[in-house]
Amino acid sequence: MSENEEHSTGGVYSVKGKEFTRDSRYIETRIMAEPRAGTDDYPVEPGRYRLVAAYACPWANRSIIVRDVLGLQDVISLGTPGPTHDSDSWTFDLDPDGLDPVLGIHRLKEAYERRFPGYPRGITVPAMVEVETGQVVTNDFAQITEDLFFQWKAHHRPDAPDLWPAELRPEMRDVMRRIYTEVNNGVYRCGFAGSQEAYDAAYDRLWTAMDWLEERLASRRYLMGDAITEADIRLFTTLVRFDPVYHGHFKCNRQKLTELPNLWGYARDLFQTPGFGNNVDFDQIKQHYYVVHTDLNPLSIVPKGPDLSGWGTPHGRG
């Protein structure tokens, strides 16, 4: 990605001399249990859709985790592009012959083009694709996971967690909004800053939020109390990438995650919870960032470290 070029597969802008800005325009079509009249809503229907989501991407990783913890594996199939891609599209490098075995496509762009010929924006993951038509339905990552909880509830496993407790939703939305702007997107604001001034401001904003989270988690096991919610999933996918990628590659290097006792214990607690750590692939994560971001890492050399064995150690937060 050059200094003045849109990163088409990631939906981000990095312009020399300016603050990083994310292109947050997504396909807003919904998959609804009861499609609304006069809209282009699609109906909830087991087997009708395929979630295309790369393990390497934090925005996609959260949809993989939500699908898993809610028990939707047999209801919505999963297609996983490889960790690297070109400037045009995510590709199915991990599948035989580079072909998604269900959709029969080599490039995710094909699903976008089937519904929107000449689609003008980034080919992003996660994306929900209708299997029969091969057309993308939506790539609105935040709405996808929310709808997996609310719209697909009839298909959740019997003991699925309540990721959106009714009494906590107002505060939870505030917490998630701050996590998105200051942490999930904040690390990118550091990594793709277009000037020293933009980087310095982004760094300070990120660490103000990290300090807030460290303090918040001193008095509660999870972000909203004693049970896991979607807020935790949204934070986790950034935390699990922090030391392998964001600390060095994005220059978010005041401290490592392992040096923040509450956040590090909390992250390990989640990692060791079914649905979380089993959906993390550190090799793919590192390959994605260090190989794709040639503006930040021109030689695409992937570091061997850091030592990630600590993720399996006791977290002490039970």
Which two structure tokens, joined as six digits, stand for 45? 């229907």
Helix (H, G, I), strand (E, B) or coil at 135: strand
Which two structure tokens, joined as six digits, stand for 192? 């793709």
Catalytic annotation on 57? Answer: yes
Catalytic annotation on 203? Answer: no
- 231 closest CA partner among 62, 60, 64: 62
Q: Which of 112, 188, 199, 289 is catalytic?
A: 188
Q: Supply the DSSP symbol for 117.
A: T
Which two structure tokens, joined as six digits, stand for 267? 């992250």
Instruction: For the chain, give percent helix, strand, coil, nearest 5.
Output: 40, 10, 50
The residues near 247 (Cβ < 8 Å, ≥ 6 apart) are: 253, 256, 257
Number of H helices, E strands in the chain: 9, 8
90 marked as binding residue: yes
Beta-sheet strand order (sheet of 77-79): 77-79, 49-52, 127-130, 135-138
CB 72 within 8 A of CB 78: no
Q: Which of 42, 57, 252, 290 is catalytic?
A: 57
- Residues designated catalytic: 57, 188
Query: What are the binding residues for glutathione?
Result: 90
Query: What are the binding residues?
Result: 90
